[in-house]
Amino acid sequence: MTEIDKTPEGEAQFGTVADSADNWVDHFAPSPTRGYLRLSRADRPIGTWLLYVPCLWAVALASLMTGSFTTFSVWIIAGCGIGAFLMRGAGCTWNDITDREFDAKVARTRSRPIPSGQVSVKGAYIWMAAQALVSLAILLSFPMTAIGLGFLSIIPVAIYPFAKRFTWWPQVFLGLAFNWGALLAWAASTGSLGWTAVVLYVAGISWTLFYDTIYAHQDTEDDALIGVKSTARLFGDNTSTWLRYFLIGTVLLLGLAVVMATIDRSFLSLVVALGGPWAMGWHLMWQLGRFDPDDNDRLLMLFRSNRNAGLIPLVFFAVAFFL
């Protein structure tokens, strides 16, 4: 763990965070901003990618279904990208505010900005509100259905940090929050919410259960000591079996969403688009084959590799669009 030095006045210096050292924030960001950027996990972009990918899936499948990709589609992609960064930052800030006492007891997290004193709780609240307000400005450029879904997304985001206190399945609540962009981007693209978007959303939740169970295995010992629940603790030695179930669920549900979106397109377009879930499934199989619950470095590597896993189907969707 990186030690955070204290000034005589008791204020923390702008040190590093134990589970995210040697990144661009440490090297290039102005010192006064580093604690706030770490709150937003700007030093760890994987979370933004995992929030963003379901949005890209939705825009791609909506374009396949409608046969149309417009300049507004480009704005949806850009707006969702900026929004994913900001809302992931706001959500992580909220998570750190609510978890500050737990974080102070865990070796991997006690050097995070709030428990280490880099950012005050009041400063964190202000920072969270600022990120949310900019996200709101982007959301208001979308159709009304998408705007309504954007406001509803506050519910799973607000609940998630507390889920580990009352359920062994907090990863479900993370999935509900992290994949909401699939619903929002679909509504922004089509003006309404359809069953294809719902199936896509559930596919994303299954994927989240896969990758976040892997991630949660890093903290099983500390979580047991402080009484925090997770699917990693729940599954224990049976984790590989459960990961296989989530893998199968992700591939089948994403495949079903593809079929629903391409039902009126050419057979070749359907076949090519279905290659996306199939190829993603092979990547998840690769992760499963290398899963080792006792190797934290490997767990983190596998978790981060899900950015590539999620981007793979987009290549197939893009090719299918032009067929």
Buried b (16+ CB within 10 A) or exposed e, 279-302: ebbebbeebbeebebeeeebbbeb
Nearest CA to 273 out of 260, 284, 262, 287 is that of 262
With cut-offs at 50, 70 and 90, classify the pLDDT of residue 13. very low
- Among the residue ranges 89-93, 136-140, 239-243, the one predicted with the least confidence is 89-93
Question: How far, in Å, CA of 73 to CA of 142, rounded?
Answer: 11
Q: Over 50: is that where the pLDDT of 164 sits? A: yes
* Higher pLDDT pick, 227 / 61: 61
Average pLDDT, integer, range 180-194: 94
Q: Over 70: is that where the pLDDT of 22 sits? A: no
Please provide the average confidence, as pLDDT, over all residues in the chain. Answer: 88
- Sequence-ordered alpha helix ranges (H) in the chain: 24-28, 31-39, 46-66, 71-98, 100-103, 113-116, 121-139, 144-152, 154-166, 170-178, 180-190, 195-216, 220-226, 231-235, 239-262, 267-289, 296-304, 306-321
Residue 153 main-chain phi, psi, to 5 deg: -65, -20
- Among the residue ranges 81-95, 178-192, 228-242, 308-322, the one predicted with the least confidence is 81-95
Which position has the token pair 């609510």?
98
Question: How far, in Å, CA of 298 to CA of 51, rounded?
Answer: 22
Q: Over 70: is that where the pLDDT of 208 sits? A: yes
Rounded (10°) angle between helices 239-262 and 46-66: 30
For residue 175, what pLDDT is reported? 95
Q: Over 70: is that where the pLDDT of 1 sits? A: no
With cut-offs at 50, 70 and 90, classify the pLDDT of residue 7. very low
- 118 token code pair: 């880099």
Instruction: Report all structural domains of the chain as residue ranges with CATH numbers, in order of start.
Output: 25-321 (1.10.357.140)
For residue 304, what pLDDT is reported? 94
